Copies of this chain bind each other. A is one copy, B any other.
């Protein structure tokens, strides 16, 4: 057996109890919201067949997929020629499985495999880890959770509207009160390409515009020039990049700009429908902003696109999504329109920490620790322990009769709010000593009074 100092792989994390509890708080708010909107949970295997994943994320993505070595005598499959040809062609000979890279491709695969059993429109959510062999850096991990919700099998703009509502509900429930949901439409981007005289170049336009926040307007122009956009097109684009104001100001300007583009008009119509549905609904905290420079990198979006930014916090987008028209086409099932979005849990976690928004007491698991003075006190405590648990109060009895100080430290480390002290006097009088660890107050109470007190305290 190895006696080496153990470690974990680069870019992965252990989540200790305090962190798991906070993360579960975020997951539970997201899950509760998804379910309140009628989304059903799906779970797919960590491993997918390599052929299912390959070719779905571009060449760069393919490199970042973690491949699993075949079991058995894989080495006998390798020839001297293979070694000369290098790793890329060798991989499929010694690996047929890989770790999932996102939740979207497994979802598409599931829909295609189960197309006859699934109730369409299929509203599913999925909260599972994904793995990417990216270079680890601050905030970028090789294992991280995605929280996706998608509807496939309908074109209804009610779905887009509800994405805004779910983003608003999750983030409001988590206590955020200053965040902006930016939206745009791929049709507007296509229309803008037409309008500036770069018809059909919206893909390149998107990729460049998508970097506007990161690299600035000049660098974007430079990139467009390199990609073969004419100077005239770039000049025409500048006023568009500078468009500002609220959606009521922007829409008429865009009507004019995009009057000759069918795609542009489709985008404007979709946005107007979505906004008109929203008028009958209540948005709690989100600010809404039509941002014609919002592009989102993923080329499979075809309709509305979304991104959420927390204001006054240094942090990239914490949620995003959009409509796609051909997700299942990659597996031979064309014509299934869908729309989806996801939350970035690691970023939300950091925002809640920074803004101190994790609710106090949300990390409490054990509610009462019964101190262990000696064998007699321990035996006396056993029915008390059971009575508290039966009333739904999470309780533990310290397993050893060690120094009280050590037991109190244990309660502090585990953030246990109450300690019950049962010494010889308490056993005689049946009045047990309940100590509030935050205030330091102690009261002698009967077991019934203790249960009452604790139930009131924890239901508050």
Contact = CB atoms under 8 A, between A and B. Distances in A.
A67 B63 CA distance: 17
A55 B1 contact: yes
Interface string A394-409: 1111011000000001
Bin chain A's interface residue count: 35 or more
A113 B7 CA distance: 7
A354 interface: no
A44 interface: yes
A20 B49 contact: no
A27 B378 CA distance: 31
Contacts of A427: none
A366 B259 CA distance: 42
Interface stretch (A80-88, A199-207, A308-316): A80-88
B280 A400 contact: no
Contacts of A385: 281
A91 interface: yes
A55 to B, nearest CB: 5
B8 A40 contact: no
Interface stretch (A11-19, A248-256, A438-446): A11-19
A292 interface: no
A121 B282 CA distance: 49
Interface in A316-368: 329-332, 365-366
B71 A69 contact: no
Interface stretch (A154-162, A189-197, A239-247, A261-269): A154-162
A187 B257 CA distance: 85
Contacts of A80: 80, 83
A35 B5 CA distance: 31
B24 A41 contact: yes
Q: Which of A55, A66, A395 has the most CB of B within 10 A?
A: A66
Interface stretch (A123-131, A171-179, A418-426): A123-131
A42 interface: yes
A96 to B, nearest CB: 8
Contact of A82 (B7, B55, B75): B75
A193 B245 CA distance: 85
A94 interface: yes
A6 B44 contact: no
Given A75-B90, A382-B281, A383-B280, A5 B332 contact: yes
Q: How many copies of this chain does the complex contain?
A: 2
Contacts of A123: 396
A87 B95 CA distance: 13
A219 interface: no
Contacts of A47: 9, 12, 66, 131, 142-143
Nearest to A134: B71
Contacts of A17: 40-42, 124
Interface string A107-118: 001101110010
A73 interface: yes
Interface of A: 1-9, 12-17, 20-21, 24, 35-49, 51-52, 54-56, 63-64, 66-69, 71-76, 78, 80, 82-83, 85-87, 90-91, 94-97, 99, 109-110, 112-114, 117, 119-121, 123-124, 129, 131, 133, 142-143, 151, 154-156, 158-159, 165, 277, 280-282, 329-332, 365-366, 369, 378-379, 382-383, 385-386, 389, 392-397, 399-400, 409-410, 413-414
26 contacts: A1-B56, A2-B54, A4-B51, A5-B331, A6-B49, A6-B52, A7-B49, A9-B48, A9-B97, A15-B42, A16-B42, A36-B395, A37-B389, A37-B394, A38-B365, A38-B369, A40-B414, A46-B46, A63-B71, A66-B68, A71-B133, A75-B83, A75-B87, A120-B410, A121-B400, A158-B399
The 10 closest A-B pairs by CB, nearest first: A38-B396, A156-B399, A17-B40, A12-B45, A119-B413, A280-B382, A75-B87, A15-B43, A38-B366, A20-B41
